[in-house]
């Protein structure tokens, strides 16, 4: 693990993969389950494609070393951790991850679940080149934050946790954002 320091002095862990010859970077933002084996494998997959990848442990402000299972207990715990986070502080943690990999070249951000919402917000508040969000349930709540870079969003048509009305509203508000359902 790599240690990052946010501009407010908070330190957080991050999983980092830096392949030789990388000319661009990717910040991978976790689901509510932490930087677990799945998120590390996602980071490894992007690194195998030539990206310098970093996956910051976004829950470190609440509890360090969070790795939850994909079961009811994991969902409950993950929602609890996410609910304790301050979005401005989370953006500081994302900015620290971006800064850490920026020397490699342009930085993209991709997020899943909780991380999908963070990727959406980062498209407005951080110096990323592009953002991709997968099933970010909080995107509709952050729809007033117009993205400043190209964004692609993915949602499940049968996802009971994300109302499609909100997805369609975001798509209508930002026609340049690629929204896939």
126 has a pLDDT exceeding 90: no
Spell out the domain ranges in the chain.
Answer: 2-180
CA atoms within a 13 Å half-sphere pointing along the CA-CB vector of 91: 13
Locate 167 and state its tokens.
């997805």
pLDDT of residue 10: 99
**117, 33 contact by CB (below 8 A):** no
| Mean pLDDT, rounded, of the chain | 97
- Is residue 34 within 8 A of residue 57, CB to CB? The reply is yes
Phi, psi (deg, nearest 5) at residue 174: -130, 80
CB-CB neighbours of 159 under 10 Å:
13
Whole-number Å distance between alpha carbons of 33 and 119:
16
Helix (H, G, I), strand (E, B), or coil: what is residue 100?
helix
Under DSSP, is residue 17 helix (H, G, I), strand (E, B) or coil? strand
Architecture of domain 2-180: 3-Layer(aba) Sandwich (3.40)
Q: Is the pLDDT of residue 145 over 90?
A: no
């Amino acid at each position: 693990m790599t240690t990052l320091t946010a501009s407010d002095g908070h330190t957080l862990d991050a999983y980092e993969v830096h392949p030789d010859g990388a000319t661009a970077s990717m910040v991978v933002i976790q689901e509510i389950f932490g930087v677990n084996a799945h998120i590390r494998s996602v980071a490894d997959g992007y690194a195998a494609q030539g990206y310098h990848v970093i996956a910051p442990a976004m829950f470190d402000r609440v509890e360090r070393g969070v790795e939850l299972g994909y079961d009811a207990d994991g969902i409950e715990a993950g929602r609890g951790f996410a609910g304790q986070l301050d979005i401005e502080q989370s953006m500081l943690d994302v900015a620290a991850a971006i800064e850490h990999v920026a020397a490699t070249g342009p930085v993209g951000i991709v997020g899943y679940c909780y991380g999908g919402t963070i990727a959406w917000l980062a498209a407005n508040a951080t110096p990323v080149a592009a953002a991709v969000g997968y099933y970010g349930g909080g995107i509709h709540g952050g729809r007033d934050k117009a993205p400043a870079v190209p964004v692609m969003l993915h949602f499940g048509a049968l996802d009971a946790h994300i109302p499609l009305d909100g997805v369609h509203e975001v798509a209508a508000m930002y026609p340049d954002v690629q929204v896939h359902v």
